[in-house]
Amino acid sequence: MIPAAFAYHRAATVAEAVALLADHGDTAAILAGGHSLLPMMKLRQASPSVLVDIGPCRPALSFVRVDGDELVIGALTTHHDVVSSPEVSAGVPILAAAAGRIGDPQVRQRGTIGGSLAHGDPAGDLPGVALALGATIVVAGASGERRIAAADFFTGSCRTARAPGEVLTEVRLPRVAVARWSYQRFTRQSHGWPVVAVAVVRHPDEVAVALVHMDRTPIRATAVETALAEGAETGDAAERAADGCDPSDDLEGSSDYRRHLARVLTRRALEAAGL
Protein backbone atom coordinates (compact mmCIF):
# COMPACT_ATOMS: atom_id res chain seq x y z
CA MET A 1 0.00 0.00 0.00
CA ILE A 2 0.94 3.66 -0.34
CA PRO A 3 1.29 5.70 2.88
CA ALA A 4 -0.68 8.87 3.48
CA ALA A 5 0.95 12.14 2.40
CA PHE A 6 3.57 13.58 4.73
CA ALA A 7 6.14 16.37 4.92
CA TYR A 8 9.81 15.39 5.15
CA HIS A 9 12.62 17.09 7.09
CA ARG A 10 16.24 16.06 7.59
CA ALA A 11 17.85 16.92 10.92
CA ALA A 12 21.61 17.38 10.93
CA THR A 13 21.86 17.32 14.74
CA VAL A 14 19.88 16.03 17.70
CA ALA A 15 19.12 19.62 18.69
CA GLU A 16 17.68 20.28 15.23
CA ALA A 17 15.57 17.12 15.45
CA VAL A 18 14.24 18.18 18.85
CA ALA A 19 13.37 21.62 17.46
CA LEU A 20 11.52 20.12 14.48
CA LEU A 21 9.58 17.80 16.77
CA ALA A 22 8.67 20.75 18.99
CA ASP A 23 7.43 22.69 15.96
CA HIS A 24 5.16 19.90 14.72
CA GLY A 25 4.02 18.28 17.96
CA ASP A 26 2.24 14.94 18.05
CA THR A 27 1.86 14.85 14.26
CA ALA A 28 5.61 14.27 13.74
CA ALA A 29 7.50 10.97 13.81
CA ILE A 30 11.22 10.18 13.83
CA LEU A 31 12.67 8.22 10.93
CA ALA A 32 15.82 6.25 11.81
CA GLY A 33 16.42 2.97 9.95
CA GLY A 34 12.80 2.89 8.82
CA HIS A 35 12.21 -0.85 9.22
CA SER A 36 9.52 -0.37 11.86
CA LEU A 37 7.87 2.89 10.91
CA LEU A 38 7.66 2.61 7.12
CA PRO A 39 5.81 -0.73 7.02
CA MET A 40 3.28 0.66 9.51
CA MET A 41 2.81 3.73 7.33
CA LYS A 42 2.25 1.59 4.25
CA LEU A 43 -0.41 -0.38 6.11
CA ARG A 44 -1.94 2.90 7.40
CA GLN A 45 -1.35 1.74 10.96
CA ALA A 46 0.61 4.98 11.43
CA SER A 47 -0.03 8.23 9.57
CA PRO A 48 2.36 10.95 10.74
CA SER A 49 2.00 14.20 8.86
CA VAL A 50 5.70 14.99 9.30
CA LEU A 51 8.76 12.73 9.19
CA VAL A 52 11.95 13.94 10.86
CA ASP A 53 14.84 11.97 9.37
CA ILE A 54 17.71 11.69 11.85
CA GLY A 55 19.91 9.76 9.44
CA PRO A 56 22.30 12.74 9.10
CA CYS A 57 22.94 12.44 12.87
CA ARG A 58 24.55 9.04 12.36
CA PRO A 59 28.16 10.25 12.90
CA ALA A 60 27.17 11.45 16.38
CA LEU A 61 24.75 8.64 17.28
CA SER A 62 26.47 5.53 15.90
CA PHE A 63 29.03 4.26 18.40
CA VAL A 64 29.85 1.63 20.99
CA ARG A 65 31.99 2.60 23.96
CA VAL A 66 32.82 1.35 27.43
CA ASP A 67 32.01 3.73 30.30
CA GLY A 68 33.10 2.15 33.56
CA ASP A 69 30.83 -0.81 34.31
CA GLU A 70 28.48 0.12 31.48
CA LEU A 71 28.47 -0.31 27.73
CA VAL A 72 27.03 2.70 25.92
CA ILE A 73 25.55 2.26 22.43
CA GLY A 74 24.42 5.13 20.22
CA ALA A 75 20.83 5.03 19.04
CA LEU A 76 21.74 4.91 15.33
CA THR A 77 24.10 1.97 15.71
CA THR A 78 22.83 -0.67 13.29
CA HIS A 79 22.06 -4.24 14.29
CA HIS A 80 24.97 -5.31 12.08
CA ASP A 81 27.36 -3.07 13.98
CA VAL A 82 26.04 -4.36 17.31
CA VAL A 83 26.70 -7.93 16.18
CA SER A 84 30.17 -7.02 14.86
CA SER A 85 31.29 -5.02 17.91
CA PRO A 86 33.98 -6.73 20.03
CA GLU A 87 32.91 -4.56 22.98
CA VAL A 88 29.35 -5.89 22.75
CA SER A 89 30.51 -9.50 22.34
CA ALA A 90 32.73 -9.16 25.41
CA GLY A 91 30.47 -7.08 27.64
CA VAL A 92 26.85 -7.96 26.74
CA PRO A 93 27.01 -11.00 24.44
CA ILE A 94 23.28 -11.68 24.78
CA LEU A 95 22.65 -8.43 22.90
CA ALA A 96 24.89 -9.51 20.01
CA ALA A 97 23.14 -12.89 19.93
CA ALA A 98 19.69 -11.32 19.77
CA ALA A 99 20.63 -8.63 17.25
CA GLY A 100 22.08 -11.30 14.98
CA ARG A 101 18.67 -12.99 14.78
CA ILE A 102 16.77 -9.88 13.65
CA GLY A 103 15.41 -10.08 10.12
CA ASP A 104 17.98 -10.78 7.41
CA PRO A 105 21.34 -9.18 6.53
CA GLN A 106 19.67 -6.32 4.65
CA VAL A 107 17.48 -5.48 7.64
CA ARG A 108 20.43 -5.67 10.02
CA GLN A 109 22.43 -3.26 7.83
CA ARG A 110 19.73 -0.58 8.11
CA GLY A 111 17.76 -1.23 11.28
CA THR A 112 19.04 0.47 14.44
CA ILE A 113 19.05 -0.39 18.12
CA GLY A 114 17.42 2.94 18.98
CA GLY A 115 14.68 2.49 16.40
CA SER A 116 13.91 -0.99 17.71
CA LEU A 117 13.62 0.18 21.30
CA ALA A 118 11.70 3.35 20.45
CA HIS A 119 9.20 1.31 18.42
CA GLY A 120 8.47 -0.76 21.53
CA ASP A 121 7.02 -3.76 19.72
CA PRO A 122 6.19 -6.49 22.28
CA ALA A 123 7.34 -9.05 19.69
CA GLY A 124 10.69 -7.31 19.16
CA ASP A 125 13.88 -9.07 20.19
CA LEU A 126 15.80 -6.12 21.62
CA PRO A 127 13.19 -4.70 24.02
CA GLY A 128 13.09 -8.03 25.88
CA VAL A 129 16.88 -8.24 26.03
CA ALA A 130 17.10 -4.64 27.26
CA LEU A 131 14.63 -5.49 30.01
CA ALA A 132 16.59 -8.57 31.11
CA LEU A 133 19.85 -6.61 31.11
CA GLY A 134 18.42 -3.76 33.18
CA ALA A 135 19.24 -1.23 30.47
CA THR A 136 18.87 2.51 30.81
CA ILE A 137 17.48 4.37 27.80
CA VAL A 138 18.57 7.97 27.30
CA VAL A 139 16.33 10.49 25.53
CA ALA A 140 16.88 14.16 24.72
CA GLY A 141 14.19 16.82 24.50
CA ALA A 142 13.64 20.55 24.74
CA SER A 143 13.97 20.41 28.54
CA GLY A 144 17.18 18.40 28.47
CA GLU A 145 18.19 14.77 28.86
CA ARG A 146 16.27 12.03 30.64
CA ARG A 147 17.38 8.54 31.64
CA ILE A 148 14.63 5.94 31.77
CA ALA A 149 15.00 2.41 33.12
CA ALA A 150 13.95 -0.25 30.62
CA ALA A 151 11.44 -1.51 33.22
CA ASP A 152 9.65 1.86 32.94
CA PHE A 153 10.23 2.54 29.25
CA PHE A 154 7.80 0.11 27.59
CA THR A 155 4.27 1.20 28.46
CA GLY A 156 2.04 -0.64 25.95
CA SER A 157 1.96 -2.26 22.54
CA CYS A 158 4.29 -0.06 20.44
CA ARG A 159 4.12 2.59 23.18
CA THR A 160 6.97 3.89 25.28
CA ALA A 161 7.74 6.54 27.87
CA ARG A 162 9.52 8.66 25.23
CA ALA A 163 7.56 11.89 24.90
CA PRO A 164 6.57 13.12 21.40
CA GLY A 165 9.25 15.84 21.42
CA GLU A 166 12.09 13.60 22.53
CA VAL A 167 14.78 11.73 20.60
CA LEU A 168 16.28 8.47 21.83
CA THR A 169 20.03 9.07 21.81
CA GLU A 170 21.73 6.12 23.50
CA VAL A 171 21.33 2.91 25.44
CA ARG A 172 23.37 2.16 28.56
CA LEU A 173 23.84 -1.50 29.51
CA PRO A 174 25.56 -3.05 32.53
CA ARG A 175 28.30 -5.42 31.41
CA VAL A 176 27.59 -9.00 32.53
CA ALA A 177 29.54 -12.26 32.76
CA VAL A 178 29.81 -14.04 29.42
CA ALA A 179 28.77 -17.51 30.64
CA ARG A 180 25.59 -16.53 32.51
CA TRP A 181 23.05 -15.68 29.86
CA SER A 182 20.86 -17.22 27.19
CA TYR A 183 18.46 -16.03 24.51
CA GLN A 184 15.97 -18.56 23.21
CA ARG A 185 13.35 -17.79 20.56
CA PHE A 186 10.88 -19.71 18.43
CA THR A 187 9.90 -18.48 14.97
CA ARG A 188 7.90 -19.84 12.06
CA GLN A 189 10.64 -18.78 9.66
CA SER A 190 14.28 -17.97 10.27
CA HIS A 191 13.99 -14.22 9.65
CA GLY A 192 10.55 -13.75 11.20
CA TRP A 193 9.34 -12.16 14.42
CA PRO A 194 9.55 -14.49 17.43
CA VAL A 195 6.32 -16.24 18.34
CA VAL A 196 7.81 -16.25 21.84
CA ALA A 197 11.32 -15.52 23.07
CA VAL A 198 13.02 -15.66 26.46
CA ALA A 199 16.07 -13.72 27.67
CA VAL A 200 17.89 -14.88 30.81
CA VAL A 201 20.69 -12.88 32.41
CA ARG A 202 22.48 -13.75 35.64
CA HIS A 203 23.26 -10.52 37.52
CA PRO A 204 25.39 -10.45 40.69
CA ASP A 205 22.30 -10.18 42.90
CA GLU A 206 19.52 -11.79 40.83
CA VAL A 207 18.53 -13.80 37.81
CA ALA A 208 16.49 -11.75 35.32
CA VAL A 209 14.06 -13.56 33.03
CA ALA A 210 12.31 -11.50 30.34
CA LEU A 211 9.58 -12.73 28.00
CA VAL A 212 8.95 -11.49 24.46
CA HIS A 213 5.49 -11.57 22.82
CA MET A 214 3.75 -12.76 25.99
CA ASP A 215 1.90 -9.53 26.77
CA ARG A 216 1.39 -5.99 25.49
CA THR A 217 4.97 -5.17 26.48
CA PRO A 218 8.07 -7.26 27.10
CA ILE A 219 7.73 -8.43 30.70
CA ARG A 220 9.80 -9.93 33.47
CA ALA A 221 8.82 -13.46 34.42
CA THR A 222 8.70 -12.56 38.10
CA ALA A 223 7.20 -15.90 39.15
CA VAL A 224 10.20 -17.71 37.65
CA GLU A 225 12.64 -15.28 39.25
CA THR A 226 11.00 -15.69 42.66
CA ALA A 227 11.02 -19.48 42.38
CA LEU A 228 14.72 -19.48 41.54
CA ALA A 229 15.49 -17.14 44.43
CA GLU A 230 13.66 -19.55 46.74
CA GLY A 231 15.79 -22.46 45.54
CA ALA A 232 13.43 -24.16 43.11
CA GLU A 233 14.81 -26.55 40.52
CA THR A 234 15.18 -25.20 37.00
CA GLY A 235 12.31 -27.26 35.57
CA ASP A 236 9.94 -26.33 38.39
CA ALA A 237 10.77 -22.63 38.07
CA ALA A 238 10.27 -22.74 34.28
CA GLU A 239 6.76 -24.14 34.74
CA ARG A 240 5.78 -20.75 36.18
CA ALA A 241 6.94 -18.79 33.12
CA ALA A 242 3.42 -17.96 31.91
CA ASP A 243 2.09 -16.92 35.33
CA GLY A 244 0.54 -13.46 35.12
CA CYS A 245 0.98 -13.19 31.33
CA ASP A 246 -1.73 -12.19 28.86
CA PRO A 247 -0.49 -13.46 25.47
CA SER A 248 -2.46 -12.75 22.32
CA ASP A 249 -4.17 -15.08 19.86
CA ASP A 250 -3.09 -14.51 16.27
CA LEU A 251 -2.10 -16.35 13.11
CA GLU A 252 1.25 -17.34 14.66
CA GLY A 253 -0.34 -19.18 17.58
CA SER A 254 -3.00 -19.24 20.27
CA SER A 255 -2.49 -17.83 23.74
CA ASP A 256 -2.31 -21.37 25.16
CA TYR A 257 0.36 -22.27 22.61
CA ARG A 258 2.38 -19.22 23.62
CA ARG A 259 2.11 -20.18 27.29
CA HIS A 260 3.45 -23.63 26.43
CA LEU A 261 6.32 -22.12 24.41
CA ALA A 262 7.16 -19.76 27.28
CA ARG A 263 7.59 -22.68 29.68
CA VAL A 264 9.65 -24.73 27.22
CA LEU A 265 11.90 -21.86 26.15
CA THR A 266 12.39 -20.66 29.71
CA ARG A 267 13.59 -24.10 30.77
CA ARG A 268 15.99 -24.19 27.81
CA ALA A 269 17.26 -20.70 28.57
CA LEU A 270 17.82 -21.42 32.26
CA GLU A 271 19.68 -24.62 31.45
CA ALA A 272 21.79 -22.91 28.76
CA ALA A 273 22.70 -20.19 31.27
CA GLY A 274 23.88 -22.84 33.72
CA LEU A 275 21.16 -22.20 36.29
Alpha-helical (H) ranges within the chain are 14-24, 37-42, 58-61, 79-84, 86-91, 93-99, 105-110, 113-119, 125-133, 150-153, 222-229, 234-238, 255-272
CATH 3.30.465.10 assigned to domain 58-174? The reply is yes
What would the mean pLDDT of 228-255 be, rounded to a whole number? 93
The CA-atom distances, in angstroms, between 186 and each of 40, 245, 266 are 23, 18, 11
What would the mean pLDDT of 168-172 be, rounded to a whole number? 97
pLDDT digits (tens, 9 = 90+) for 73-96: 999 999 999 999 999 999 999 999
Pick the CATH number of 181-272 from 1.10.10.10, 3.30.390.50, 1.10.3210.10, 3.40.190.10: 3.30.390.50
pLDDT of 43 > 80? The answer is: no
pLDDT of 177 > 70? The answer is: no
Task: Give the SS3 label for residue 206.
Answer: coil
Q: What is the pLDDT of residue 251?
A: 84
- Asked if 30 and 57 touch (Cβ cutoff 8 Å), the reply is no
Domain 7-57 architecture: 2-Layer Sandwich (3.30)
Indicate left, alpha or beta for 253 from its phi (over 0: left) and psi (-120 to 50: alpha).
left
- Give me the residue spans of the domains in the chain: 7-57, 58-174, 181-272
User: Long-range contacts of range 104-107, CB-CB < 8 Å, 24 or more positions apart?
Assistant: 104/191, 105/80, 107/35, 107/79, 107/191
Is the CA virtual torsion 239, 184, 120, 1 positive or negative?
negative
- Asked if 186 and 168 touch (Cβ cutoff 8 Å), the reply is no
